[in-house]
Amino acid sequence: MTGADGLRDTAEEWPVTATDVPWTGKVTGVRSDVVTMPDGSTARRDYQVHPGSVAVLALDDDGRVLVLRQYRHPVRHKLWELPAGILDVPGEDPVVAARRELFEETYTEAADWRVLVDIFNSPGGSDEAVRVFLARGLSEATGERYEVSAEEADLEYARVPLADLVRAVISGELHNSCLVAGVLALAAAGAGDGIAALRPADAPWPARPFTA
């Protein structure tokens, strides 16, 4: 393979001879599959079952990105992140979920939405798929503010120039996967065909089919 010819992820499923769900939580669970390998051998694969997530790179008219800082207990860090949330309504249009997360976490609305990048967050250990949207035309939301609690009660907010975020990602100062993917994707789009070439907000998402 040379260049970009044929450079595409493809859906494929190896035979599963046995499966078990040893644990199920409120939103996610753990599945254990016995998978047949191409050489005929079998192997057990344990992974998190996840409904999927959305994240929003909200870009204001001054080229700044709206980010928030939140404590994440599994990694024992406070991370700068994009507004994001779980797709916990089956079949929901991801952009509807993204609008809701932007409103609930930042009390912000956006007039223009596009798909920025789609990722599998940790494909060796989870089936979580994430769609990161680009949102522009920002304004303060209307209506009753969402009441925060738990970790969200400690959120910090900032608007940071895109170039500063790119530098912080490259220097190893920022680690959240959605933020890293979104920031670098937007920088690449700006250096390439431009934002106008990004996919529309309702672009198909085979990893998480939805009812448009």
Active site residues: 152
DSSP 8-state assignment for residue 144: P
CA distances from 109 to 38, 67, 102, 170 (A): 49, 14, 7, 29
What's phi and psi for 51, nearest 5 deg? -75, -10
DSSP 8-state assignment for residue 59: B
What's phi and psi for 196, nearest 5 deg? -60, -20
Number of H helices, E strands in the chain: 3, 11
| Cβ atoms of residues 79 and 175 within 8 Å | yes
Residue 130 DSSP SS3: strand
Q: Give one word for 162, left, alpha or beta, with left for phi > 0 and alpha for psi -120 to 50.
A: alpha
